[in-house]
Chains A and B, each alone.
Chain A
Amino acid sequence: MTVLQTKNLTKSYGGKVAVDNVSLKIEQGDIFGLIGQNGAGKTTFMRMITSMSRPDSGQIELFGATTPAKLTAARTRTGSVIETPALFQNLTAEQNLEYYRLQRGITEKNRVQEVLGIVQLTDTGKKKFKNFSLGMKQRLGLAVAILGHPDFLILDEPTNGLDPTGIVEMRDLIKRLSQEGITMLISSHILTELAQVANKYAIIHHGRLIKTLTEAELHEECKRALAITVDDTAKAATVLETTLNITNYKQVSQNELRVYTYLDDPAEVSFQLSQAGVRVASIQVVGDSLEDYYTKMIGGTKS
């Protein structure tokens, strides 16, 4: 079942395109990581999904709803924390949650305590939101988002500004929620962070969606291999199999093969191919760390 589908979603601010024709699809159960640098358009995209901002053009389909009225109703099945968590500064954690429980017509009176337990904020007592640490604020923001048992969670940079302990806590929390079957859209500018929770990824850069891939595809992309560019891949494949006994390889394009063994001896592979009359244009070890891969995708250099 498709939870969210956008078609050519576009938004500009003052003539500058923030989100440019973004089309993506999120299926039920996906933990969808939206990765991009700061200013890439992640937040703007999420703001449009959550109706905080209106798209200039394009279509949003949420739980099958496309008309404004039905979209508004469909959004009651979502929970979100966009940018920083915003809650009433002078209320305590419990009071803030009670406010949203009443506002959203949640009849389970013990839900507030239950959610406080989930985000580990049961011991905050009379401490007001304005006196919370950033990590506590993030967790309370998430508590409001999950208060109404949402089917779809939208989290914008949930680990932003957190210290290492806070990051681990937030990650564990997201993992626990994902185990409950909640579909999620999570943005981050750190792929390695997302990789620990997401199972699908979309890379957004300068407002454009440049790549969508599954967890398996990402691992495949990042797997270390010998990338061999040859003039005749069929002949090269025969040489690999018969001469070098290599079966762990694949053809990735018309002229390129990827070999997942012999990583420490590319010269031998090159030699055998040449001996068999295969012209080797290039041979190199490829394979990225997640960060390298992401950097390569957005056409930048790793800092």
Chain B
Amino acid sequence: MMNIIRADFYRISKSWVTYAPFAALALFHVAMMVYGSISVTGEYTSGTMYVGQLLDLAHFLFALPLIPFVFCVSVPSFSDGTMKNDISWGMSRTKLYVSKLLIMVILSILLYVFYIGAGMGVATIVFGFGDAVPGYWMNLLQAMGAQMVGVLALCSVMIFLSFLLKKPYVLTEALAGILMIPTLINWISSLFNVDASRVLYFDLLSNIQGFASFHLLDSRTILIGFGVIAVWLLATSIAGITLLRKAEVK
């Protein structure tokens, strides 16, 4: 499997699409600094405050740039038809699927670290680091760690969808769609004036968002959050592997 991962990293290193999410987030940080600087109220006043915002919005701001990764990692297997080279050469379908998932996870974690790290760096340069309450670093690392666990499941969902839908334009719509789920649930609940918090318990992105304030969560919420993430991770991984094992390779 290491050979597959090595080869895929060689391949995706040749594509500008791989670097686009990093560039987009870097631009976003710079833009936010400009916006923050000219803002009358000064929305961001420190690096720590900006990072807090980034954690809060990670379920969308960070998740959105993951879409191009899917197009680098797994989509060419279908769009370029290269999967037949892998399968016909005797590559195990399970190995193939798991390796794509691992590559997606590695890229996503790198991007996540960049998302938070670059944000903190840029904001600290512009506004200064700010006040770090006692235990700040531990809280931050806990929140990042918990969100990264959620990102694993998000990667699994995305890779599963790419193997299920195959067609790039359908996949784009589906991936964009899943990022809209929390907003959609909130919108529907406010429209019909119902409490949607229980529904949001089962939403992956809402759990990632919730982990932004990990240190404030009670153990039951944390347990439910990790439970939901584990279910998404396992369900989509098993479904994806099963799908590929049974698929006719075109």
Most buried by A among B8, B11, B14, B250: B11
B10, B76, B81, B85, most chain A CB atoms within 10 A: B85
1/0 contact string of A52-92 vs chain B (CB within 8 Å): 11100000000000000001111110111011101111110
Residue of B nearest to A129 (CB): B80
A216 on the interface (CB 8 Å rule)? no
* Residues of A close to B90: CB separation below 8 A: 51, 71-76, 78
Expressed in whole angstroms, the Cα–Cα distance for A297 and B55 within the complex equals 72
User: A262 within 8 Å of B by Cβ?
Assistant: no
Q: Are B248 and A53 in contact (CB under 8 A)?
A: yes
Q: A99-B10, A103-B3, A105-B3 known; A88 and B76 CB under 8 Å?
A: yes
Size bracket, chain B contacts: 20 to 34
Which of the listed residues B3, B8, B15, B89 has the most CB atoms from chain A within 10 Å of its own CB?
Answer: B89
Q: A102-B3, A103-B7, A105-B3 are in contact. Are A78 and B89 (CB under 8 A)?
A: yes
Type the 1/0 row for A87-111, where 1 means its CB is closer than 8 Å to any CB of B: 1111100010011111111000000
Q: A83 contacts which chain B residues (CB < 8 A)?
A: 84
Cβ-based interface call for B4 (8 A):
yes
Nearest residue (CB) in B for A130 is B80
Q: Mark B184-216, 1 if CB is under 8 A from A, else 0.
A: 000000000000000000000000000000000
Residue of B with least CB distance to A154: B88
Shortest CB-to-CB span from A145 to chain B, Å, is: 9
Instruction: Flag whether B92 is at the interface (Cβ < 8 A).
Output: yes
A138 within 8 A of partner (CB): no
**B residues 75-109 with Cβ under 8 Å of A?**
76, 79-92
CB-CB under 8 A from B10, the residues of chain A are: 98-99, 102
> Chain B residue with minimal CB distance to A52?
B249
Q: How far is the CB of A21 from chain B (nearest CB, A)?
A: 20
A78 near B7 with CB under 8 A, answer no
Return chain A residues, CB-CB under 8 Å to B76. 88-89
Distance from B136 Cβ to chain A, minimum over Cβ atoms (Å): 42
Determine the distance from Cα of A51 to Cα of B79 in the docked complex, in whole angstroms.
20
**Measured between alpha carbons, how far is A80 from B87 in the docked complex, in Å?**
10
Report A-chain residues with C-beta under 8 Å of the C-beta of B81: 84, 86
Asked whether A90 lies within 8 Å of B14 as measured between CB atoms, the reply is yes
With both beta carbons as reference points, the residue of chain B lying nearest to A103 in the complex is identified as: B7
Q: Render B4-38 as a binary contact track against A, CB cut-off 8 A, 1 for contact.
A: 10111011001100000000000000000000000
In the complex, residue of chain B having the shortest beta-carbon distance to the beta carbon of A13? B248
Cross-chain contact of A87 among B82, B87, B88 (Cβ < 8 A): B82
B4, A103: Cβ atoms under 8 Å?
Answer: yes
Q: Which of A100, A105, A154 contacts B85 (CB 8 A)?
A: A100
Which B residues have a C-beta under 8 Å from some C-beta of A?
3-4, 6-8, 10-11, 14-15, 76, 79-92, 248-250
Known: A47-B248, A74-B90, A89-B76. 13 other contacts (CB 8 A): A50-B87, A51-B87, A53-B249, A54-B248, A72-B92, A86-B83, A87-B80, A88-B76, A95-B14, A99-B7, A99-B11, A102-B3, A103-B7
Please name 5 pairs of A and B residues whose Cβ atoms are closer than 8 Å in the assembled complex, sorted by A: A50-B87, A87-B85, A99-B11, A103-B6, A103-B86
